[in-house]
């Protein structure tokens, strides 16, 4: 059987180990060819090919449920669940998603983009199954990196308290998340990887005891206790923790040995209660280049699979915002030993790996634990340090309560740096940075700012580090800047809550925030071609808003347009509209941003076209709103 013929995972049933090995190689070939062409996540999926095939051969996927953590490790799952023919569209507009989506395929039993969710979701499904008297199996697959997330540990704590609820947790342990894992739990798992596999005693041990002359029958009341004690002797010392938490522990199992995997999973399905199967895998397995560079080949832009080298861009790009952020922060940290960079397992993505290399004592990686990262930073701030918390906009959502309770209520000077704010492209709805303006703007004591370009980013980093009156947050986008001149040092901080006028015009006021400032300037040019003169304001700050600048202009010009690369509901435009209403400046306002929809995976420029966020589309919206017969006060 060829991989292309598999449209249902139950077709794996009855195949020999040799046949499964052939399919495993085909999966790796297809995975590698596709990601080399489209870009995407490579190492995670290559590492779980045998795990996927071995597990699925022991399940009936018409009934049983498999919940994957994160989702980018589930590319082999996608290839055997009817998406082979469309796999070349991976992460492209209207194509196969890079993560799991319930609406994409009936075998995607739970959506997965953020880490540490699978055990909680799986336990919920198992409890629902039992409540309804149904009999299907539930399997939660979680990576060792995701196990550092508090939510996973909360779920383990709960599941271990339910000895009659059947739930299989598969721990995919490759010693990595994106970068090498940190902390006590990964160190503990590493000891377990080096331990011999646990051999569970078969049911015939009971018969062996019963056959002891004059003794066997008298042992019956104590037999269960004896079996439990002997089993515990077989569990390596380091594996006993999961046993104490209420799980039956099995492993470590060679994650690339199909025969061993199938046997282990079959045994696990026979055990009552929660079971944890510890599977040791190699990230990037089967592609030597990815095995040697597991960080670099976690995900890749299009590359040559023979050499592993990225396909060069047709034209040089300005430095990425993340690179400028990292370079500037390192320069400041060299001069100020109180600056501490904090990341939640995203050192390379945020650029903090540069700080780690240069100033390791001023760098902290907490693992996939955003809540802990925020409260840790609050503790550092209490003692006079200058914590700089670099977390993607989409991931900072996970620490919302800590931002309020531990930072803002206590008014602690923590500097939040939100990378990948706005439209992020191929990662889709789980990763779009749409909501940070709205979810941070409503919190007392928080200051919000966003740069119009990479040079202003440098000044805002200085502003954030220097600001000690309370918490402050800066959002910036994924990808390259505009190529504006940068400084190596001597950056001047910005005055809190002060914007700037970039262009004067009497017909309409364009108030833009962050990445939309450049779009506003382009929109003004388009409007100019139609005889409409626009004033363009770079707001710089969403909170506090520069009302001293904006309100008189709005009153004078009489038409206001706000532009933001974030959700319109509760966002920057709402802040401007509220300020106008509070000041009794009643003028028509047009808010332009992300409407109340989920933005699917596509190239950012494609998404902007669909959302009406190109400069020509914005200009058309402005003319329709204000310079054609029908007007709307607030839209």
Distances (CA, A) of 32 to 37, 42, 299: 9, 7, 11
Alpha helix stretches (DSSP H) within 530-626: 547-557, 572-582, 604-611, 615-626
**Token reading at 187:** 């160190």
**359: Cα separation from own chain's centroid:** 26
Largest CA distance in the chain: 107
Is 386 designated active site? Answer: no
Closest-CA residue to 298 (of 177, 181, 391): 177
Beta bridge mates, 392? 419
Is 283 designated active site? Answer: yes
Distances (CA, A) of 572 to 48, 194, 390, 398, 540: 43, 53, 22, 21, 11
Is the bond preceding residue 210 a cis peptide, omega within 30 degrees?
no
Closest-CA residue to 377 (of 456, 472, 454): 472
Alpha helix stretches (DSSP H) within 83-239: 118-132, 150-159, 184-193, 204-210, 220-234
Closest-CA residue to 547 (of 577, 522, 524, 518): 577
Beta bridge mates, 173? 280
Closest-CA residue to 279 (of 292, 294, 260): 260
- Per the CB < 8 A criterion, the answer to whether 371 and 150 are in contact is yes
- Per the CB < 8 A criterion, the answer to whether 552 and 559 are in contact is no
- Per the CB < 8 A criterion, the answer to whether 536 and 503 are in contact is yes
The span from the CA of 90 to the CA of 521, in Å, is 34
Closest-CA residue to 167 (of 201, 143, 137, 134): 137
- Per the CB < 8 A criterion, the answer to whether 88 and 598 are in contact is no
Q: Collapsing DSSP states into helix, strand and coil, what is residue 42?
A: coil
**Token reading at 27:** 């999966």
The span from the CA of 403 to the CA of 448, in Å, is 13
Closest-CA residue to 63 (of 138, 123, 165): 138
The span from the CA of 307 to the CA of 523, in Å, is 43
The span from the CA of 481 to the CA of 483, in Å, is 6
Catalytic residue among 78, 83, 283, 285: 283
Q: How crowded is the C-beta side of 102, counted as CA atoms within 13 Å? A: 5
**DSSP character for 180?**
B
Q: Collapsing DSSP states into helix, strand and coil, what is residue 216?
A: coil
The span from the CA of 138 to the CA of 127, in Å, is 10
The span from the CA of 31 to the CA of 16, in Å, is 22
Catalytic residue among 91, 398, 441, 475: 398
**Token reading at 55:** 């597990």
Distances (CA, A) of 544 to 442, 473, 498, 547: 11, 12, 8, 8
The span from the CA of 545 to the CA of 320, in Å, is 27
Catalytic residue among 50, 65, 370, 543: 370
Is 398 designated active site? Answer: yes
The span from the CA of 455 to the CA of 460, in Å, is 9
Active site residues: 283, 370, 398
């Amino acid at each position: 059987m060829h991989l292309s013929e598999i449209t249902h995972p139950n077709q794996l049933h009855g195949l020999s180990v040799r046949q499964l090995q052939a399919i495993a190689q085909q999966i790796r070939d297809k995975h590698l060819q596709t990601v080399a062409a489209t870009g995407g996540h490579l190492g995670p999926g290559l590492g779980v090919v045998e795990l996927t095939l071995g597990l699925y051969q022991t399940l009936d996927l018409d009934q049983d449920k498999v919940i994957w953590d994160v989702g980018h490790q589930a590319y082999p799952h996608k290839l055997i669940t009817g998406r082979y023919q469309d796999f070349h569209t991976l992460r492209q507009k209207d194509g196969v998603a890079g993560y799991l989506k319930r609406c994409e395929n009936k075998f995607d039993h739970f959506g997965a983009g953020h880490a540490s969710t699978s055990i909680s979701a799986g336990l919920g499904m198992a409890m629902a199954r039992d409540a309804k008297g149904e009999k299907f199996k539930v399997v939660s697959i979680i990576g060792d990196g995701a196990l550092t997330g508090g939510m996973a540990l909360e779920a383990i704590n709960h599941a271990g308290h339910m000895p009659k609820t059947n739930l299989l947790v598969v721990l995919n342990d490759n010693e990595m998340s994106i970068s090498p894992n940190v902390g006590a739990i990964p160190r503990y798992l590493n000891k377990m990887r080096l331990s011999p596999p646990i051999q569970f005693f078969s049911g015939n041990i009971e018969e062996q005891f019963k056959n002891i002359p004059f003794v066997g029958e008298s042992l019956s009341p104590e037999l269960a206790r004896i079996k439990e004690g002997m089993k515990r002797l077989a569990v390596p010392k380091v594996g006993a923790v999961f046993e104490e938490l209420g799980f039956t522990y099995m492993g470590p199992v060679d994650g690339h040995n199909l025969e061993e995997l199938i046997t282990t999973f079959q045994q696990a399905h026979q055990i009552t209660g929660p079971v944890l199967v510890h599977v040791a895998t190699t990230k990037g397995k089967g592609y030597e280049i990815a095995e040697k560079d597991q960080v670099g080949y976690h995900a890749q832009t299009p590359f040559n699979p023979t050499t592993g080298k990225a396909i060069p861009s047709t034209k040089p790009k300005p430095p990425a915002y993340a690179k400028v952020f990292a370079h500037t922060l390192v320069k400041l940290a060299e001069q100020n030993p109180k600056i501490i960079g904090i990341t939640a397992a995203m050192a390379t993505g945020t650029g903090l790996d540069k700080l780690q290399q240069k100033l390791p004592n001023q760098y902290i990686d907490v693992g996939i634990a955003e809540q802990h990262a925020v409260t840790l930073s609050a503790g550092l701030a209490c003692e006079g340090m200058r914590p700089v918390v670099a977390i993607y906009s989409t991931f900072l959502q996970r620490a919302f309560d800590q931002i309020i309770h531990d930072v803002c209520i206590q008014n602690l000077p923590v500097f939040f740096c939100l990378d990948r704010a706005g439209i992020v492209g191929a990662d889709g709805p789980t990763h779009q940075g749409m909501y940070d303006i709205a979810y941070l703007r409503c919190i007392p004591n928080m200051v919000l700012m966003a740069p119009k370009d990479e040079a202003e980013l440098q000044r805002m980093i200085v502003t954030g580090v220097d600001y000690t009156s309370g918490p402050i947050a800066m959002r910036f986008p994924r990808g390259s800047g505009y190529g504006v001149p940068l400084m190596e040092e001597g950056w001047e901080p910005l005055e809190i809550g002060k914007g700037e006028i970039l262009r004067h015009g009497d017909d309409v006021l364009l108030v833009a925030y962050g990445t939309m400032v450049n779009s506003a300037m382009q929109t003004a040019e388009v409007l100019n071609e139609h005889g409409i003169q626009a004033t363009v304001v770079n707001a710089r700050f969403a909170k506090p808003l520069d009302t001293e600048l904006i309100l008189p202009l709005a009153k004078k010009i009489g038409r206001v347009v706000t532009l933001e690369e974030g959700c319109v509901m509760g966002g920057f435009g709402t802040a401007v509209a509220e300020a106008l209403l509070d000041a009794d400046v009643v003028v028509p306002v047009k808010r332009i941003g992300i409407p109340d929809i989920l933005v699917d995976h596509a190239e950012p420029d494609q998404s902007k076209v669909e959302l009406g966020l190109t400069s020509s589309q914005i200009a058309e919206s402005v003319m329709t709103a204000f310079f054609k017969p029908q007007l709307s006060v607030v839209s």
